[in-house]
């Protein structure tokens, strides 16, 4: 499994996509921006390009020729996706510390990048993963519909939660009011987001394996 992860990181993923989190992370410095867009660049750019590369380079056949199980192939691919997602989120989080220092008196119309916001980002990517990978492993090479559906779902989640954050007094208080400075509350939302992210990754791992076992390598 480790060898498959290294194969993806060295051969399958273009080095540019390891640098991309730095460039999207810098967008956190735009004052008062819609920061949900930052992790969404992963969905818009990295996933279709990387999965397109796997398809065009016959990665599926290559992996199947190696002495590995189908289970390992799925596990390795999910780990690679998660590694890239974590890179995007962690780099963006680091930049967000500077955002607060640079613009201490900013009035945020959209979510400010508090810890709770990153919890929401983890939830968004959890939804993205469960749709992307469960659809992708029906064939293990068709990625178009899977990326479209999963990206749409992630954007809908982001839009809906942002709307609720503005409109709902309860959520507004958590993200804009007194709750924003409540570190324990913010941290608990972040941890909840991470737990959902891990749980969804484990669920999609099981779904993907079941589907991939039925896939014929043509």
Give the residue from 34, 31, 3, 6 showing the smallest Cα distance to 155.
Answer: 34
CB of 64 to other proteins, least distance (A): 6
Q: Check if the beta carbon of residue 22 is closer than 8 Å to that of residue 12.
A: no
- Site stretch for other proteins (CB under 8 A), options 30-38, 53-61, 115-123, 146-154: 53-61
Q: Which is nearer to other proteins, 58 or 183 (CB)?
A: 58
Q: In Å, how far are 43, 50, 80, 204 from 14, measured between CA atoms?
A: 16, 7, 12, 25
Residues 9-28 interacting with other proteins (rule: CB under 8 A): 10-11
Interface pick for other proteins out of 27, 34, 45, 68 (rule CB under 8 A): 68
Q: Which is nearer to other proteins, 101 or 214 (CB)?
A: 214
Q: Which is nearer to other proteins, 59 or 85 (CB)?
A: 59
Dihedrals phi, psi of 58, to nearest 5 degrees? 55, 40
Interface pick for other proteins out of 30, 31, 69, 98 (rule CB under 8 A): 69
CB of 218 to other proteins, least distance (A): 8
* Torsion of Cα atoms, 43 then 44 then 45 then 50, to 10°: 50
Give the residue from 52, 26, 42 showing the smallest Cα distance to 81.
Answer: 42
Site residues (vs other proteins, CB under 8 A): 3, 6-7, 10-11, 57-59, 61-62, 64-69, 214, 216-218
């Amino acid at each position: 499994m480790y060898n498959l992860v290294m194969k993806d990181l060295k051969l399958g993923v273009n080095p540019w996509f390891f640098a991309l989190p730095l460039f999207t992370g810098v967008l956190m410095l735009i004052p008062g921006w819609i920061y949900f867009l930052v992790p969404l660049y992963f969905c818009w750019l990295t996933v279709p390009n990387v999965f397109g590369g796997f398809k065009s380079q016959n990665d599926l056949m290559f992996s199947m020729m190696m002495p590995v199980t189908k289970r390992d192939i799925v596990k390795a691919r999910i780990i690679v996706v998660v590694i890239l997602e974590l890179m995007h989120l962690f780099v963006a989080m680091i930049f967000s510390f500077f955002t607060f220092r640079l613009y201490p008196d900013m009035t945020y119309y959209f979510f400010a990048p508090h810890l709770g916001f990153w919890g929401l980002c983890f939830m968004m990517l959890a939804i993205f993963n469960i749709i992307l990978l469960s659809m992708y492993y029906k064939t293990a090479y068709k990625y178009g519909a899977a990326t479209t559906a999963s990206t749409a779902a992630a954007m809908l989640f982001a839009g809906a939660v942002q709307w609720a954050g503005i409109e709902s007094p309860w959520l507004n208080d958590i993200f804009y009011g007194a709750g924003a400075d409540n570190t324990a509350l913010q941290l608990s939302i972040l941890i909840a987001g991470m737990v959902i992210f891990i749980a969804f990754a484990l669920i999609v791992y099981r779904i993907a394996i079941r589907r991939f076992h039925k896939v014929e390598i043509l």
